[in-house]
Structure 1
């Protein structure tokens, strides 16, 4: 199982150069992937811009949106152009897009995008991206990766399964527990087989972490406020399942590998770049 790391984009960072330093350290320490999350009404960096900066600061580590809220990108052709441009900047095979329709209505209100039709717009965006990536559309540049970056989808709905089997290479589970992954993967693999897709879908899980003496406080600050929209109980739950001890992180690697995850990504909650090295030490990189 591969081990990736996520930028602390939802945490209280104040200098974008810190995120670039995370990217450099993540590659130097041997992480498989650098991921970045997405929200509009928050201090989260725009994912494609952040990964473009990371692409310029690195040469090997894979780059992943985890997850990008597709329907907020109302200009489908412009979005496709941004994706293929990022793919060119990074080089073949480095960029993967984790995508989801989004659940925060305020993101859509401030983005001036209709929340009620987001599923339909998401499907239209995917069709346009596929046309551009395959060269069947005049929008350019062409991607460096043949056919365009691999797509993964978040969520557990029937629509998510449909998008995985028609457009995607697999599933990405955010803030996941072992039980979450075990509960969904049988449906995923059955849908994949029913659609006649060869091989197996990729399964990626992401979890929250912070390490060091201030780990719990960092998690409280970052996750508690980030998930406050869903109520105190949900925010408390998010804090409670975050990993703040090296021994628990090592155990999580073993458990997620045991249930067949292809990759486990630890999302940062403390902007200090030293967190990259603490995590690398904990997972044995």
Structure 2
């Protein structure tokens, strides 16, 4: 199982200037990829900005969105933005997307939460069209440079509709940020949807676990703050934060046992030293 590390783009009041240095340190430490967490109505740094900063500062480490709220964007605009980030990185981006659920994250007029699932189904075709270099905006010109690739897609959420979407359009599934003991059934559901869609092999399965090693109290508070208002999910997310080396080792083993291909250890503060603390445990 590969081990990636999150970028602290959604730590409350993150010092945005830390993001390029964070990506460079993660690359040097040997993590497989850096990832973002997505919300709009929160005092953090937008996923696309964080990923672009990481792309420009690094040369080999993978980039991943974990997960980005795609329906809050107009489809063609989102596709062009993602193509640019992937191009800057030299083709290192994997796009994890979901429909979102918080009404306050849907900021663009005409792109509210009510029909977000239908919009995603429609926009998936738009993404492919834009990335293929087809004309956009009713004109005759493509919106992306020649040679733009089809960016790999993974999907979050666990509803039957979301899992069908994953199996029909994606390369795999991103589990929610819950304790490992609660993820086995969601991985099984993703595998079942994959088989039902007639796909060969197995879906790529990606997991998330929060860590708070340098300042556990602050880290736990930050996770509770980020997920505030999410009902029972808030307490579950906080309970899954790993605060000791032994707990980090245990969660790595637990997700490996579940068949995850990659585990992202998400930071809960923007302390750069957290990268070396995690690396010393997992490598």
Taking structure 1 as the reference length, the TM-score comes to: 0.92
SS in 1 for 2:10: coil
In the TM superposition, what is the alpha-carbon distance from 1:168 to its structure 2 partner? 0.3
Indicate the residue corresponding to 1:153 in structure 2.
155
Counterpart residue number, 2:236: 237
Alignment length, in residue pairs?
277
Q: Following TM superposition, by how much is the alpha carbon of 1:237 offset from its aligned partner in structure 2, in angstroms?
A: 2.9
Q: Cα deviations across residues 80-113 of structure 1 (Å, max 9, x unaligned)?
A: 1111111110012x100110000101112x4332
Q: 1:199–1:91: structure 2 CA closer, same or farther, 3 Å change rule?
A: same
Which residue pairs with 2:213 in the alignment? 211
Unmatched tracts of structure 2, length 5 or more: 136-140
Q: Give, in whole Å, the separation in 2 of the partners of 1:230 and 1:266.
A: 21
Residues in 1 aligned to 2:279 and 2:105: alpha-carbon distance in whole angstroms? 34
Q: Which of these residues, 124, 127, 151, is aligned with residue 125 of structure 2?
A: 127
Q: TM-score, normalised by structure 2?
A: 0.92
* Contact 1:99/1:152 (<8 A) preserved: yes
**Higher relative contact order at CA 8 Å, sep ≥6: structure 1 or structure 2?**
1
Deviation at 1:179, TM superposition (A): 2.9
Corresponding residue number in structure 2 for 1:281? 280
Q: CA deviation at 1:144?
A: 5.4
CA RMSD of superposed structures (Å): 1.7
Superposed displacement of residue 186, structure 1? 2.2
Give unpaired runs (5+ residues) of structure 1.
none
Q: What are the equivalent positions in structure 2 for 1:1-285 lying under 5 Å apart?
A: 1-73=1-73, 75-92=74-91, 94-108=92-106, 110-112=107-109, 113-137=111-135, 138-142=141-145, 146=149, 148-212=150-214, 214-215=215-216, 217-231=217-231, 234-284=233-283
Instruction: State the Cα deviation string for residues 137-193 of structure 1 (Å, max 9, x = none).
Output: 4433247564x1110000101121121112100000121332332102222222212
Contact 1:81–1:140 (Cα < 8 Å) also in 2: yes
Once residues 15 and 90 of structure 1 are traced to their aligned partners in structure 2, the CA distance between those partners, rounded to angstroms, is 23
Aligned mates of 2:14, 2:180 — CA distance in 1: 33
Query: Which of 177-186 and 97-106 deviates more?
Result: 177-186
